[in-house]
Each structure stands twice: as structure tokens, then as C-alpha cells.
A and B are shown apart, each in its own frame.
Chain A
């Protein structure tokens, strides 16, 4: 069974929008996805029916809010294959999730002489927190390179991950190239060397089935806004025994057990890492986003995207002046295609396509080192989701052809 795209599209009010006279063709899903009305309604419902703070009140609405908030946590846990809901910590986004690990676990466990390993495909939020930890601790940052066809160089990984390695961070799906990386093998290499692995699931969790137990990773992060949820909320999952041993990173209400002026003790998981009033409404709506995806079935979501990506790769590689940055074979690949046009700068292409209602991303995609490794300063990127159609791929390709003619004139 695959998914019913027409039925899905009806759930997304924004897809009715026009840009100027043209219907919106939204192909910037790797940046953020659109939201179904179910998610939007969940936000309104919370604020109109049971807005109250969580974990603090005995009154009815506080109990309802707390139940919905914790139920959402359990849904996310199930969605990523985590056994214990308390191992799921709400953050603002995946950037905060990675920072939490780099500060809390990193400062306690990484020292001068140690090595931190990342991949050549990390987003800036998978680079900079580790680079800064390396600077604070005197550790060395090492990078697993990519191959010429946009895959991780696993032979190099076997050499780079060694007994000095403390932690490995890897994107499960590259936000630039679309490559799906073998993070399970990277995790094995890390564990054989006594190191941990953090999997950046920002692009994988929205688009393919994820099971943290099967991946056998130690930390996993995601941002809800890329998977039908609202902005301002993300998740860090960690192996409970690791999280328990880690010191808190931010301090305040909710995360404490007992406070005097001299000292404080910490609340249990997950609250130890959730200082202050959490993002209640957005957490609840994230639960609804996860329900939506689960009802479709992540296998089906993945199948739809394989189909549309295969079609887009075929059509884009037919264009003589267009060069795709990542893998052009559709195996182990998600619905993200970065490309450049020989004669039109991506920024000009993006502006021109926007005139036709087509929204793509242009620039360095928050992965400057990776984009530069292709000897360009910027690229155009189209990225797909459950509501995209092959007709929209056609619109993109026709649009590129028109822009080509425009800049030739």
C-alpha cells in the first residue's frame, strides 16, 4: 500500500496558497515541513480548552495538560523505538539536543588528547557544538570524509574511529545530498572502541522508519518542525543509563528535587533536563504529528518518497546544464536533491522559481564545509514530503528550463 497523496493534500490548508498567481509548489521540506490541520487544531484546542501549566497543579486543566504532554512524549518514544518514555527529553530543536549532549556529557567525559568524530555531511549544528567542545577540552575533531559519489567513506571511518574516540556524530540522512548513511555500522565501530554514537535524525525521522534500539545508538535527536509538527520543539533521546549519569545542563524550576540556598538535588528523568515551564502546546501537537505519520505508516512514507525522488533524479539529470551534488542512484537515498545549474547561480534560480510559485532552498544549507567540498559556494535544493507529487517535480523541471532561457536571452 502506498499513501493517498490527494487525501493527504486536503489536510494541509497551506497547500491552497498561491504565490502571486501561481499555486504553491512547496519543495523546501528539508528546511521545514508544512503542518496538517490536525496539528494546527491541536494547538488551538490546547489553548482554547485546557491551557494550564504541567506537573504543578491539582486542578482539572493542569491534570489534562500534564496527561496530554506526557502522552505526546510516549508517542514520540514509540515512534523512534525507544522503550522508556522518560528517555525522551523535550528540547527546542535538534540543535539544542546536540548542545545538551556536548555540554552535559561532553564536558564531563571529553578531555585533552581525546578525539571527537563527525562526518563530512553534518549540518552546522552537528559541527559547531563538537568543535567548541574540542576547543574547551583540548580534544581533536576528526571528520569522516565523503566519497566522490556522495557516500560516507566507510573505509576511512574504520581508521578514523579508534581507541581515542569518545563520541561519533553522524547524520542518518544528509540534509544536502540526501544520502542515507549506515549509522548502524558507525555505531558498531564506535562501540568496539569504547565510544558513543549520536545519530542526527533531523532528516531521517520525518521520512523513514527509525528504531533507536535496532540502530543501537546512544543518542538520537530530531526536530518536530521537519515532521509535520510545530516549530520550537525537538527531542533528544538517550540511553537511560547515560542520561541518568549525566549532569543537568540548564537549571531552574521543574528540574530540581529539593532546593536550599546552599545546594540543590536533581529531579528524575526526563525532568532533570527540562528546566522551566516546557513548550506544552507544541509538545502536544508533536504527538499529533507523530499520530499522523504513524497512521500513514513510515514504510509507506518512505516508499512514496523513493518513488518521487527516483522520478526527480531522472528528470533533473536529463537537464544538460544541471548537475546533481549527491548520489544520482536512488538506493539508500532520501528525497533531498541539491543541484547546480552551469549558467544560473542558485540564488538567481531560487528568486526566479519563486515567481512561479516554486519554493526551493538556495545557499549553503547550513553545511558550508560540505557544499564547499563540491567547489561551489552555494547550491539549489529541492526536497520532498508526503504531499508532493510528480506533477510538482515536472513544474520544477519546466521552471528550471524557463529560467535557463531567461538568463540566456
Chain B
């Protein structure tokens, strides 16, 4: 977002308090010994790193979650929010959330219902006004999507 007023107030649109909270206290960071889904991702642009591990039960429902990494407030809080989103979801539902998340950041028209479905993740919506940072927000989501898709293909 170029133009308009400058100054740090504008940053509030991106760094909502939920985001800063997840950045400072990321959830689900303990690594798993065994994982059914294990994926690492890097953003070559800024060097952000993410490591996601999941175990799934026989019905494809997420059991254990581990998400860790290092990088900026956006990539790390987004990954932490992703880990919370995965609680109690099956693969199908997780994929649905990933699609919604991507659409929100692309500024697609979202229905009220869809935004509700995203819950806390709506805190990341402001990132869409900072185009170079969308990649940061999507890093963990894209990595997980790829891993889940690959799993499905097997």
C-alpha cells in the first residue's frame, strides 16, 4: 500500500495483537519423534524457515502437531496460527482452510460464512495490503498443502 499516510500506525493493519502474540508465544513447537507428514519450507527471499510435522489417525484426522521455524513475525505467527487451525481437523478440512486462507490473502470476495470459518486466521487479513509480505504469511500453508497433496497422490 503505497501513498496515504505514513507512520507506524499503519502497521497495526498487519501486526494485529493476535499476530504479535503468536509470534512471541508460538504454539505446538515441540518436535515429534515420529510423523506421518513431515515438511520443511524456506522462503528464499528472506530466509524464513518452517518445519511442520503431523501424525494422522486411520481416518486421516490430525493427532499430533509440531510447527517450528525462524523468521519474521508474519511467517512465524502464521505458522503458529496454522498449527492451531489443524487441531481436530482431518486432511480434507485442512485443505479447505488452506484454500480459504489463500483466497483471503489474494483479496478474493469472501462471504461472511467463509470468514467465520477462518476464525482467528482473519487476523492475517491485513497482510494483503503489504504485497511483498504475502509470501511470508503463506509459507507454512503452501508447504503443508504440497505435503498433503503429495500424500493424497500416493
Contact = CB atoms under 8 A, between A and B. Distances in A.
B5 A20 contact: yes
A345 interface: yes
Given A347-B72, A351-B14, A407-B20, A368 B3 contact: no
Q: Which size class do B's interface residues fall under?
A: 20 to 34
B18 to A, nearest CB: 14
Interface stretch (B44-52, B83-91, B99-107, B115-123): B44-52
Contacts of A348: 15, 72-74
B70 interface: yes
A363 B5 contact: no
Interface string B1-32: 01111111011001100001000000000000
Interface in B99-146: 130, 132-133, 136
A357 interface: yes
B47 A378 contact: yes
A293 interface: no
Contacts of B71: 345, 347, 377-378
B20 A22 contact: no
Interface string A1-30: 000000000000000000111100000000
A36 B24 CA distance: 44
Contacts of B49: 377
B141 to A, nearest CB: 17
Most chain-A CB neighbours within 10 Å: which of B3, B11, B74, B136?
B11
B47 A368 contact: yes
Interface string B38-66: 00000011111100000000000000000
A22 B6 CA distance: 6
B72 A19 contact: no
Interface in A50-64: none
A356 interface: yes
A95 to B, nearest CB: 17
Count chain B CB atoms within 10 A of each CB in A22, A345, A371, A406 and give the residue with the most.
Answer: A345
A403 interface: yes
Interface in A347-375: 347-348, 351-352, 355-357, 362-364, 368, 371
Contacts of B132: 351
A347 B133 CA distance: 9
Interface string A332-349: 000000000000011110
Interface of A: 19-22, 345-348, 351-352, 355-357, 362-364, 368, 371, 377-378, 402-403, 406-407
5 contacts: A21-B5, A21-B6, A345-B72, A345-B73, A348-B15
Interface of B: 2-8, 10-11, 14-15, 20, 44-49, 70-75, 130, 132-133, 136
State the 7 A-B residue pairs at the shortest beta-carbon distance, nearest first: A20-B6, A377-B47, A347-B72, A345-B72, A378-B47, A22-B6, A363-B46
